[in-house]
Structure 1
Amino acid sequence: MMRFPMRLTSILLLAGLGVLPGCGALQALQGEPDRDLFELRPPAALSCGPARIGELVVEPPKARGTLDSNRIMIRPSPLQTQYLPDAEWGDPVPAMVQRLLVRSFDATGSFQHVGRAPLGLAGDYALISEIEDFNAEAAPEGTLVRLAIEAQMVSEMEADVVARGRFTATVPAGSTRTADLIPAFDTAARQVVGQMREWGLAAAGVRPGSCR
């Protein structure tokens, strides 16, 4: 029986890996494809005068595994999930939504502090939410971007839910191309975050008439 030197054996093994179809080791060496990064904008700023409420904590939104990612989701059918191959969000979807909410509520001036965590043991109010939909889908009427978020406003001092709401937006997109989808996601996010801001201010006792 012929014995190959150890070095030659290693070279032959590596050569064999190179010709295996769909080889995971080879794909790992090649790495992920380059993707363009995108961020979404908060709605237009709303000022509600001097701060009258202490602190609002915006908790990280919950999301199922397919949405807890920075990939941009498309649903070819109700039971199928795919992602854009050439683009992704700059942050995972829950972190991006949390950032938009923090910026939107902070810009109103209604709270002395708006943040992702309390400055002390607890804030005055906490915004708790769960992302149900944050995706594009192929519908009979064309490509649509759908966003849906369930939320609760909690009084930390009283340990009580003071308001509940569900916020949705459906925006048509010209196609499933990235150039058409991103503006539709941006419009939908601005609508949903704007709805949540108005609802959250009212739940915390800020009258809409004081905002402009």
Structure 2
Amino acid sequence: MTMTRNILFSALALLLAACAIPAKSIKLYRLTPLADNPVETSTSMVVAVERLQAPAALDTPRIALTCYAIDFDYFAGPEWVDNAPAMLQRLIIESLDGSNGMVAIDAHGTTAIPDERLRLDLRTFQAEYGKDREAPTAHVRLSVKRLDPKTMAILDSRTFDARIPASANTQRAIVEAFNSATTEVLDNLRNFATLKTP
């Protein structure tokens, strides 16, 4: 009876010890907005940025990768700080706000009437490995439409595409390639958003 009791106590102690071991934390990564580009102007344009539309496979904090044209997967450990569309929307707002007198706001949850709306479609946001399986290329592709907020008519539209090879097949190098590709897309988007519509 005493031996059975000791075994039970030992098992309970092991269980409690296991519960006290913290789970392995997930490494989180974020991307950076464009640097400020202030321009002195007497007028300002309010632009409402909609949440990015994206396929379900990209609407996640997991970092996507492909090895072949028909394959799609995710890295096992690292993740973005938020779902990719939400993270990129914040980056776009931060990058546009204050640029060339522009005021950028979230299109949802506001009663302000903007001068324009931006509708964005995230087409590609993944690390692409070639046949050699060495360091991948970060690929970001974003479709943008400028809309009249009163009629929702399309004023202009563009698609921006950037591919940046990672310097090594490591988490940090791959995320840095994502950051560079995203910066290129954001820069083109900011130039497009500040153009006068036809």
TM over 0.5: yes
Tell whether 2:159 aligns with 1:166.
yes
Local SS of the residue matching 2:72: strand
User: Does the CA-based 8 Å contact 2:139-2:164 persist in structure 1?
Assistant: yes
Shift of the 162–32 alpha-carbon distance from structure 1 to 2, 3 Å rule, reads: farther
Local SS of the residue matching 2:117: strand
Shift of the 78–51 alpha-carbon distance from structure 1 to 2, 3 Å rule, reads: farther
Aligned partner of 1:157 in structure 2 is: 150
**5+ residue gaps, structure 1:** 1-30, 206-212
Shift of the 64–84 alpha-carbon distance from structure 1 to 2, 3 Å rule, reads: same
Instruction: For residue 38 of structure 1, report the CA deviation from its aligned partner.
Output: 0.8
Of the candidates 22, 39, 44, which is equivalent to residue 53 of structure 1?
Answer: 44
Shift of the 89–71 alpha-carbon distance from structure 1 to 2, 3 Å rule, reads: same
Tell whether 2:57 aligns with 1:74.
no
Q: Which amino acid aligns with 2:68?
A: S
Instruction: For residue 140 of structure 1, report the CA deviation from its aligned partner.
Output: 4.4
Q: TM-score, normalised by structure 1?
A: 0.75
Of the candidates 76, 93, 117, which is equivalent to residue 107 of structure 2?
Answer: 117
Aligned partners of 2:181, 2:23: CA distance in 1, in Å? 29
Runs of 4+ in structure 1 off by over 6 angstroms are none
Aligned partners of 1:131, 1:144: CA distance in 2, in Å? 17
Tell whether 2:178 aligns with 1:188.
no
Aligned partner of 2:130 in structure 1 is: 139
Q: Which amino acid aligns with 2:93?
A: V
Tell whether 2:59 aligns with 1:43.
no
Aligned partner of 2:119 in structure 1 is: 128
Q: Which amino acid aligns with 2:105?
A: G
Shift of the 82–101 alpha-carbon distance from structure 1 to 2, 3 Å rule, reads: same
Aligned partners of 2:44, 2:155: CA distance in 1, in Å? 15
**Structure richer in strand, relative to its length:** 1
Aligned partners of 2:48, 2:42: CA distance in 1, in Å? 15
User: Does the CA-based 8 Å contact 1:37-1:88 persist in structure 2?
Assistant: yes
Instruction: For residue 174 of structure 1, report the CA deviation from its aligned partner.
Output: 2.9
**5+ residue gaps, structure 2:** 1-21
State the number of aligned residues. 175
User: Does the CA-based 8 Å contact 1:125-1:204 persist in structure 2?
Assistant: no
Aligned partners of 2:47, 2:74: CA distance in 1, in Å? 34
| Larger deviation, residues 153-162 vs 37-46 | 153-162
Instruction: For residue 203 of structure 1, report the CA deviation from its aligned partner.
Output: 4.1
Q: TM-score, normalised by structure 2?
A: 0.80
What is the root-mean-square deviation of aligned Cα atoms in Å? 2.3
Instruction: For residue 35 of structure 1, report the CA deviation from its aligned partner.
Output: 1.4
Tell whether 2:170 aligns with 1:177.
yes
